[in-house]
Amino acid sequence: GESVGLHLPTLSVQEGDNSIINCAYSNSASDYFIWYKQESGKGPQFIIDIRSNMDKRQGQRVTVLLNKTVKHLSLQIAATQPGDSAVYFCAENIQGGSYIPTFGRGTSLIVHP
Amino acid sequence: DAGVTQSPTHLIKTRGQQVTLRCSPKSGHDTVSWYQQALGQGPQFIFQYYEEEERQRGNFPDRFSGHQFPNYSSELNVNALLLGDSALYLCASSLSGRADYGYTFGSGTRLTVV
């Protein structure tokens, strides 16, 4: 499944499928990007980050892709599990000074067993 | 090791009243940032405190003010509450405001203005 964050805020997938969550960022000066996971009743939790000098970064079951030409980020989750159900936010930041991420609206991921 | 703790967890206030929310940063962190998260939206930056001073501020009116204490804990005050102030208020702590030293969010305070 695939979602464009702001226009399709909910993504439903079956357990075991791969999930792709997309995000368009707004500031061409942003050079640090972060994906957060927010479960119900909790604050955002860091998943993975990427700097603007990279196109791809992999973590455990997650991969972030960055396309600076079109100001687009995606988060790929492999073998999605019910515990992955949450709202996912991309955030952007301009290096220099304090880290103050600017969040997008978010995409709700629902994983069906 | 305790993470970021916020109190209270839930709060109901009447329009026009004042409210104070509290945040204790993660051990070893010295910078506290506050965010407002309306239902179905991403967190919006309110302000950041470092060395007991407001270092940066987002696009929020002066009704929103804060304070940081010598032990790095922080308070967020909102005066003359409006219905639109109903939201989840999140606190995040870090070391010197840097992301690579860990930027940790608390679970938030749910404020309802009636």
B42 and A CB contact within 8 Å = yes
**Residues of chain A contacting B21 with CB distance shorter than 8 Å:** none
**Predicted confidence (pLDDT) per residue in B33-83, tens digit:** 999 999 889 999 999 999 999 999 999 999 999 999 999 999 999 999 999
End-to-end CA gap in chain A: 15
> Residue A1: its pLDDT value, please?
38
For position A6, what pLDDT does the model report? Answer: 41
Which residues of chain B make contact with A32, given a CB cutoff of 8 A? 99
Distance between CA atoms of residues B114 and B105, nearest Å: 27
pLDDT at site A9: 83
Nearest Cβ partner for B107 among A42, A49, A103: A42
Residue A2's pLDDT band (cuts 50, 70, 90): very low
Which residue matches tokens 């927010």? A38
Q: What value does the mean pLDDT take over residues B12-26?
A: 98
Residues from chain A contacting residue B31 (CB–CB below 8 Å):
98
Residues of A in contact with B56 (CB under 8 A): 97-98, 100
Asked if B33 contacts B94 with a C-beta cutoff of 8 angstroms, the reply is yes
Average pLDDT over residues B13-20: 98
Distance from CA of B45 to the nearest CA of A (A): 7
Categorize the per-residue pLDDT at B1 as very low, low, confident or very high, splitting at 50, 70 and 90: low
pLDDT of residue B101: 64
Q: Smallest Cβ distance to A103: which of B43, B50, B56?
A: B43
Q: Quick one: pLDDT at residue A107?
A: 94
Rounded to an integer, the average pLDDT of A3-8 is 40
Q: Report the 10 Å Cβ neighbour count for B17.
A: 12
What's the pLDDT tens digit per position in A6-33? 444 899 999 999 999 999 998 888 889 9
- Band of pLDDT at residue B97, cut at 50, 70 and 90: confident
- Minimum mean pLDDT range among A96-105, B8-17, B28-37, B42-51: A96-105
> What is the distance, to the nearest Å, from the Cα of residue B74 to the centroid of all Cα atoms in its chain?
8
Question: Which pLDDT tens digit goes with each residue over A51-86?
Answer: 999 999 999 999 999 999 999 999 999 999 999 999
CA angle B36, B109, B62 (to 5 degrees): 45
Strand stretches in B1-114, DSSP E? 5-7, 10-13, 19-24, 31-37, 44-50, 53-57, 64-68, 74-78, 87-94, 104-105, 109-113
pLDDT at A96: 67
Would the CB atoms of A44 and B107 count as touching at under 8 Å?
no
Does any CB of chain A come closer than 8 Å to the CB of residue B70? no
Inter-chain touch B41–A100, beta carbons under 8 Å:
no
